[in-house]
Amino acid sequence: MFKTTKSRLLAATLALLVCISMFVGSTFAWFTDSVSSVNNIIKSGNLDIEVQYSLDGTTWNDLTADAAIFDENDLWEPGHTVVGAIRIKNVGSLAAKLDVATNVVSELEGTNVYEESFKLSDYLEVYTGNDASAIDFTDRAGSLAGLTAAAFGQSLFAADVELLPGNSTDCVIGITMPTTVGNVANHKTGTAAPQITFGITVNATQLMYEDDSFGDDYDEDATYPGGDATQSETNAIAKKLANAQPGDTVYLEDMSYGDFTLGSGAYTYASYPADLTIVGGTFDKFVLGDKVFDGWTFKDVTFTEGLTAVNAATVSDLTLDGCTFNGARFSIIETSGVSNDNITVKNCSFLNNKEQSNPAILIQKGNNITVSGCVFNNAGYNAIQTNQMAGEFVFENNKINGTTDRAIRIANAGANITVTGNTIVTAGDVDGELFKASGTNGTITFDGNTWNGKTDAEVSFDGNVVK
């Protein structure tokens, strides 16, 4: 009996070991169930507005950065009135709030018949409204009816305008010189005509409208573009420029980044990519320092102190397109024997140069320079001054109003010089010189220019000097 019991115990033990071995590498199966949801889509909303303008309430054109709503050739006198309208449409998927503002980009003072200086803005009245369909664009007096008095430099809406996706709103702008204005605004013959350059800015940001799981107030503090960049934001832009790939475009926010020096100083990297485009943003002083900058383009960038290339910077194929120099200058100062090749400045504005004893554009030792379609108002000593230039110099279709010396000054140039299609309103040194090229051995060509009211054929040209 003992033997039988022992045998049974051994068999049971073996059976238990076999069962345990079967569980090695396996898991227990619990009761389970599952439900899958495959329709959860996360989609970005977008904020996007389109702006058009009209001078008759019927024909609407796209409002671009270089569009001129009012005719720059208008000659203002008592009673003169212009009215235009802009139409803003929300073509995005998010609700927006809007602000429309005017800003005085520059103003050139004049001298009246009483020998007194005056600003044109002191004798113009601005009006605004928000319904273009209610405006009689065919009647001078009626066009201002129902509009509200405003001013240059202020918001044209009394409060933020809410604009849902697919909807549009209007903003009407009227400007008039009252008939009560007399000779105080009558500028003296032979002096610079006073003028104002002003901009219209349409700002849009998020409206407190869409919901999340906590309500619709997550964007109640959304702010309009602009303001000053933080130090971390400025540092991030410097790093982005250094780490970009050749051919990249870097878009900047509509804010001010202050003083900015690449290649030396605060933002120093070993090298910078070629063929880089920088779009937008505002800088006080932007300095290209001791590095190679090849194929760079600045587009629609604003400078309030200037854009400068200095020291051992090697600059080639540099393009400025649609930039604004507000009280600022563009200068390439050659100090190390490095030539600055292929410089193009087009569709830029040089306004109210703070350094009146210096030119708006100064390029030393530049090969192949083109300046085209630019505006120079109160430009300073010269609109452009170059030194030790070779290759081709082309200055075409520019407008110059106000220099304290010659409009164009070229020294020690071996370049072929072409000056065509330019309008010089007020310029000239004490001897009446408007253009001077000294030490040149290339050809000089003039065509289709207006020099203080005279054609190329009417001015005197003697020894590379135009009077």
Count other Cβ atoms within 10 Å, centred on residue 299. 17
Count Cα neighbours of 7 within 13 Å in the Cβ-side half-sphere.
4
Q: What is the dihedral of CA 435, 439, 443, 449, to 10 degrees?
A: 0
Concatenating the DSSP letter of every residue in 229-245 gives PPHHHHHHHHHHHHHPP
The pair of structure tokens assigned to 408 is: 């164009």
Angstrom distance (rounded) from CA 119 to CA 429: 24
Count Cα neighbours of 254 within 13 Å in the Cβ-side half-sphere.
9
Concatenating the DSSP letter of every residue in 360-402 gives SEEEESEEEEEEES-EEEEEES-SEEEES-EEEEEEES-EEEE
The pair of structure tokens assigned to 335 is: 């100090």
pLDDT in tens, 441-456: 788 999 999 998 889 9
Question: Residues 241, 268: contact at Cβ < 8 Å?
Answer: no
Please give the pLDDT value at position 10. Answer: 45
Q: Considering only the top CATH level, what class is 231-466?
A: mainly beta
Among 394, 408, 324, 315, which residue's Cα sits nearest to residue 359?
Answer: 408
Please give the pLDDT value at position 32. Answer: 54
- DSSP secondary-structure letter at 115? S
Residue bearing tokens 């309009």: 224
Please give the pLDDT value at position 18. Answer: 40
| Tens of pLDDT, residue by residue, the chain (467 residues) | 434 444 444 444 444 444 434 444 444 566 655 454 455 556 566 788 898 989 888 999 888 766 778 877 788 899 999 999 989 999 999 888 888 877 776 677 888 999 998 888 889 888 998 889 988 888 887 888 888 888 877 788 878 889 999 999 999 999 999 999 999 999 888 887 888 877 788 888 888 888 888 888 877 877 766 677 888 888 888 888 888 999 999 988 888 899 988 876 667 788 899 999 999 999 999 999 888 899 999 999 999 999 998 767 889 999 999 999 999 999 987 655 666 889 999 999 999 899 999 999 999 888 899 999 999 988 999 999 998 888 899 999 999 988 989 999 998 878 899 999 999 988 878 788 899 998 777 889 999 999 988 899 998 888 688 98
The pair of structure tokens assigned to 127 is: 């009006």
Angstrom distance (rounded) from CA 133 to CA 58: 9
Among 262, 266, 257, which residue's Cα sits nearest to residue 284?
Answer: 257
Please give the pLDDT value at position 26. Answer: 46
List the chain domain ranges: 49-206, 231-466
CA distance readout (Å), 270 to 160, 263, 317: 46, 7, 20
Task: For residue 133, give the 3-state DSSP assignment.
Answer: helix
Please give the pLDDT value at position 431. Answer: 82
Please give the pLDDT value at position 199. Answer: 76
Please give the pLDDT value at position 24. Answer: 45
- Look up the pTM and report it: 0.70
CA distance readout (Å), 219 to 18, 209, 212: 66, 8, 10
pLDDT in tens, 28-46: 566 655 454 455 556 566 7
Question: Residues 338, 363: contact at Cβ < 8 Å?
Answer: no
pLDDT in tens, 238-287: 888 888 999 999 988 888 899 988 876 667 788 899 999 999 999 999 99
The pair of structure tokens assigned to 467 is: 């009077």
Write b or e for each residue in 164-198: b if 16 or more Cβ atoms lie within 10 A of its Cβ, otherwise e: ebeeebbbbbbbbbeeebeeebebeeeebbbbbbb
Range 49-206: architecture per CATH: Sandwich (2.60)
The pair of structure tokens assigned to 293 is: 């900058």
